[in-house]
Amino acid sequence: MAEQNLEKLIGRFHPRRTYKSGEVTVEVDGVFVRVDEETRIENGRVFVPIEDFLQDSAIIRSARVSTGRDTLAINEKAAGLIGSLYKDSHVTPFEGGAMFRLRVEAPINIAQPFFQLPGSHNEFSGRYSVIDGEFSMPEHIQKNPEASEIFLEAGEDSKEVYKKFLDASMAKEQARFAVLFSFFTKFYWTVSLRHLLEICALEENKFAPRGFWDTRDRIFKKILEDWTPWAYDKFLEFPKVYKTRWAEEEADEEADDGIFTELVENIGSFRLDNCLADEKLMRRGVKTGPSPKRGFGHSILNFSLHYPIFVHRQWVRHRYGAWSELPVDFDGVVNGFDFYVPKYFREQIGKTMSYHYEDMERGKNTEMKTALLDLISRSIGRYWRMRQLGFSMADSAACLPYVFRIEALWSPNVEGLMNFFSLRCDSHAQWEIRQFAKRIYLLFARLYPWANEIFLKHINYGTIETDET
């Protein structure tokens, strides 16, 4: 019976690698494989018993550890066990038991919501590499000759300015300001089966773009069906819907003044909305093991951020805290000329991994600034042409360069903040995000002198560079 059960599972297991929907490609780059000292290696090939490779049986082993039976082979009760775990939301075996390392290629505007999802992300960097390839042109744009003309024109214009910037030895991290909000990015996303199942059960809402939901429905569900057929059966048999549309109906809250607002150069601003940080509590909390710095986690600060998109996309990678990326009113961005144009452009001198930056000579700097300003003006023209054709703000924004500002709410705790300071006040961080990090650090140091002392002496692993230290 046990073998028959395993045979059935093997018959439905399709370890496909590549999945495509529209402009998004997802590859299953890796899954968990059970390690066994008995594993046979012959002529450079590893022979793994299929049971050790199947993700469904990994769920079962993770669940059976509670009763000490985790080493048992898959038996006739296995599929039923997956069902009862899923139905009753005992989902940690789906989290620790089965993992997928996915390689995703997607237009940046569709990829963005992925970085709000649980898991680990490693993304292509426009700071270190040249962004090449075409820009996104979704099917509904292709079908409209005027819109596709605008997209093509926007793409050519952007490529020309980007090239001009690179030819002027501009730092790649700034040259990418000329790239449109429709370039293709690539990243590895390591995510558990539990989280994939949760995402598949989310009620679709307007906070993420259509392309994201299509990817979820046409790719993620197919991956589950191919790689974890039993878990997928149970997902269908016991449907769950995590409601999300209620949030669309919430009236927009007027932000109050917060505690104070600080402008950060001409880059953007942050507002400290609230702080629930208490040094007494932190002092009590740090007496914990094995990692006492977790005690700093009891204190939380709330910030509203208004900053360029590229700064956001670096910042949002600090997962240890709550993030809300607020819907962007692109008409407002364009009307208010809410774009970042640096005062100074930097040249990148030297080879990869050992370069440094120098401010551009004045005449060259003015030329680059004019080129970026002109590109933004032409892009604004295209944005309105798209809007006049009846396209949504999100569709039209694909023609805007990568320097528009957005708003987000960020609530880190002090432990997460310390990690942020170590990494982002550091000289390796991009200058623009570093300016925010420095100012928030100075605020933190003033508010919490004891925590700051511990941070500087024992926790910081970066080079805090502030004008005041």
Ligand X SMILES: Cc1cc2nc3c(=O)[nH]c(=O)nc-3n(C[C@H](O)[C@H](O)[C@H](O)COP(=O)(O)OP(=O)(O)OC[C@H]3O[C@@H](n4cnc5c(N)ncnc54)[C@H](O)[C@@H]3O)c2cc1C
Give me the residues that bind ligand X (CB under 6 A), please.
Answer: 121-123, 125, 317-320, 416, 419, 423, 428-429
Residue 195 C-beta: closest distance to ligand X, Å: 11
Beta-carbon count within 10 A of 3 CB:
10
The label of the residue with tokens 């082993």 reads 61
Give the tokens for residue 392.
Answer: 């949504």
Backbone φ and ψ of 203, nearest 5°: -65, 130
Nearer to ligand X, 123 or 465 (CB): 123
Nearer to ligand X, 429 or 464 (CB): 429
Residue 98 C-beta: closest distance to ligand X, Å: 18
Give the amino acid at 22: G
Residue 284 C-beta: closest distance to ligand X, Å: 20
Nearer to ligand X, 83 or 462 (CB): 462
Nearer to ligand X, 74 or 106 (CB): 106
Nearer to ligand X, 308 or 416 (CB): 416
Closest CA to 260 of 439, 78, 453, 44: 439
Nearer to ligand X, 232 or 402 (CB): 402
Nearer to ligand X, 234 or 313 (CB): 313
Nearer to ligand X, 171 or 375 (CB): 171
Residue 113 C-beta: closest distance to ligand X, Å: 16
Nearer to ligand X, 64 or 319 (CB): 319
Residue 296 C-beta: closest distance to ligand X, Å: 11
Residue 137 C-beta: closest distance to ligand X, Å: 26
Can you tell me the distance from the alpha carbon of 64 to that of 45, in angstroms, rounded to the nearest whole number?
31
Beta-carbon count within 10 A of 157 CB:
19
Give the amino acid at 347: E
Residue 129 C-beta: closest distance to ligand X, Å: 9
Q: Is 243 left (phi over 0), alpha (psi -120 to 50) or beta?
A: beta
Residue 121 C-beta: closest distance to ligand X, Å: 6
Residue 291 C-beta: closest distance to ligand X, Å: 9
Can you tell me the distance from the alpha carbon of 376 to that of 179, in angstroms, rounded to the nearest whole number?
11
CA distances from 45 to 16, 35, 37, 306 (A): 20, 15, 15, 53
Q: What angle do CA 285, 288, 292 make, to 5 degrees?
A: 80
Residue 294 C-beta: closest distance to ligand X, Å: 9
26 touches 103 (CB < 8 A): yes
Give the burial class of 52: count Cβ atoms within 10 A of its Cβ; 0-12 exposed, 13-18 middle, 19 or more buried: middle
Nearer to ligand X, 27 or 329 (CB): 27
Can you tell me the distance from the alpha carbon of 380 to that of 376, in angstroms, rounded to the nearest whole number?
6
Nearer to ligand X, 221 or 319 (CB): 319
Residue 316 C-beta: closest distance to ligand X, Å: 9
Task: Say which residues have a Cβ less than 8 Å from residue 309's Cβ, sequence separation at least 6.
Answer: 181, 402, 403, 404, 405, 406
Residue 10 C-beta: closest distance to ligand X, Å: 34
Order of all β-strands in the sheet with 260-264: 260-264, 268-276, 300-308, 405-412, 321-325
Nearer to ligand X, 379 or 413 (CB): 413
DSSP state of 458: I
Closest CA to 406 of 291, 341, 328, 299: 328
Task: Say which residues have a Cβ less than 8 Å from residue 152's Cβ, sequence separation at least 6.
Answer: 137
CA distances from 402 to 68, 338, 377 (A): 54, 12, 13
CA distances from 280 to 116, 285, 299 (A): 32, 9, 10
* C-alpha of 93 from chain center: 25
